[in-house]
Amino acid sequence: MNLLSRFGGRVWDPWREIGQLQNEMSRLLTGARAFNTGGAREFPPVNLYVKEHEVLLTLELAGIDPETVEITVTGDAVTISGDRPAEVPQQGQNFHRRERFAGQFQRTVQLPFEVDSHKTEATYDRGVLCVRLGRPESQKPKKVVVKTA
Amino acid sequence: MNPEVKQEDTATVKKESTTPQGTERTKARKVYVPAVDILETDTSLLLIAEMPGVDEHGVDITIEKNILTIKGAVFDPVPEGYQLAYGEYGVGDYERSFTLTNEIDRDNVQATIKHGLLKLTLPKVKQHATRKVAVTVG
C-alpha cells in the first residue's frame, strides 16, 4: 500500500515505510497478489478511487444485510467488518459447488491522507458498498503566496 | 453440511470469462465468471450466483436446449472525476453457463436478485411412477 504515500499529506516516516514494506512482503509470500494482478485473496475485494480531497472505497459485498456492516475511521485508516453467514443446507440438501466466501470478514485500508470521520458517507446498492471519505479543512494543502519585497 | 465440498480458496478472485477460440466480444468491457453455490434437494436445484453491481434490469437468464446461461450487466457506482489509486477487483459484466440434465423442469425456473445476489430455483420434473407392462401369452 506504499503506493498511496505519493498522494502526500503525511510526513515521511522511515519506520512506517519499513513496516509497510514488511506487510507487502508477507502478503506476497503468503500468495496474495499485489496491485492490479487479479485481486487479493482477502474478502471483500476493495478498490480505492481518489479525487482531489475525497477518497471513494468500493467493496464487492453481495448479499449482506447493510445494517450489520461496521465502518470505523481512525486518522488515515478505515476498517470495514461484518459477517456473511454461510448458506446452511437444510436436510436433504447437498452442495454441488461451493465457491462463495462465507463467514466473518474484516478489511483495513490505509488512506492517502487523514480523513474527517464526520465527512464519511456509506451507501449499499446492488451488492456494492461505497464509502466516501473527505479530507478535513485543516489537512488540506495550503497555497503560499510569494510576496515581492 | 457435506464435508466433501470444500469452499474454494480462490473464492474472492474474479476469473475472466472466455470466448470460443479466435472470437471476441463486441463490447470492450471485461466479462467475469460469477462465483456460485449450487445446492441440490430431492425436488430442485438452487443456484446462488454472486453478481455485485447487477440489479433486476441487468440480469438475463436463458435456457437453450440443455444449456443454462446467466448474464449480468454491471452498474458502475464510481462517479466522474475519480481516479483508481489501488485496485483489487476489475469492474465488468458477468457470464456463466451450465449444462442441465433432463431432470430439470425448464418451464418453472424461478429467479430473484437482491443486493447483487442472484438466486435461481430449478425444480426437477416430478418423477413418473414406474409403469409395468403386462405381458400376455400370444
Read off the pLDDT of residues B61-78 as tens digits, 9 standing for 90 and up.
999 989 999 999 999 889
Cα dihedral A13, A17, A19, A23 in deg (nearest 10): 150
Q: Is residue A144 part of a domain?
A: no
Cα–Cα nearest to B74, from B112, B109, B118, B110: B118
Q: What is the mean pLDDT of residues A86-98?
A: 83
CA distance A20 to B103: 55
Q: What is the mean pLDDT of residues A133-138?
A: 88
Place of cell 452442495: A95
Q: What is the pLDDT of residue A2?
A: 47
| Closest CA in chain B for residue A42 | B12
| Closest CA in chain B for residue A130 | B77
Q: How many CB pairs under 8 A join A and B?
A: 166
Q: Is residue A15 part of a domain?
A: yes
Q: Is residue A149 part of a domain?
A: no
Into how many domains does chain B fold? Answer: 1
Q: Which residues contact B52 (CB under 8 A, 6 or more apart)?
A: A60, A61, A62, A126, A127, A128, B116
Interface residue of B88, B93, B101, B103 to substitute, partner A, most A CBs within 10 Å: B88
Q: What is the mean pLDDT of residues A93-120?
A: 90
Q: B91 is in which domain, residue-wise?
A: 15-123
Cβ <8 Å between A45 and B88: yes
Q: A63 is in which domain, residue-wise?
A: 2-85+102-139
Interface residue of B5, B86, B96, B100 to substitute, partner A, most A CBs within 10 Å: B86
Instruction: Report residues of chain B scoring pLDDT below 70.
Output: 1-12, 127-130
Scored b (16 or more CB within 10 A) or e, A57-70 reads bbbbbbbbeeeebe
Grid cell of A95 as nine digits: 452442495
Q: What is the pLDDT of residue A27?
A: 60
Q: Is residue B138 part of a domain?
A: no
Q: Is residue B134 part of a domain?
A: no
Q: Does the CA dihedral B90-A106-B72-B102 come out positive or negative?
A: positive
CA distance B55 to B45: 22
Instruction: Tell me the CATH number at B52.
Output: 2.60.40.790
Whether residue A3 has pLDDT greater than 90: no
Into how many domains does chain A fold? Answer: 1
CA distance B13 to A42: 9
- From chain B, pick out residues whose CB is under 8 angstroms from the CB of A36: 87
The single-letter code of the amino acid at A139 is Q
- From chain A, pick out residues whose CB is under 8 angstroms from the CB of B37: 87, 95, 97-100
Q: What is the CB neighbour count within 10 angstroms for residue A80?
A: 21
| Closest CA in chain A for residue B74 | A126
Place of cell 462465483: B35
Q: Is residue A67 part of a domain?
A: yes
| Cα distance from N-terminal residue to C-terminal residue, chain B | 55
Cβ <8 Å between A39 and B116: no
Q: Is residue A96 part of a domain?
A: no
Q: Is residue B128 part of a domain?
A: no
Whether residue A136 has pLDDT greater than 70: yes
Instruction: Tell me the CATH number at A59.
Output: 2.60.40.790
Nearest chain A Cα distance for residue B104, angstroms: 15
Q: Is residue B6 part of a domain?
A: no
Q: What is the pLDDT of residue A26?
A: 66
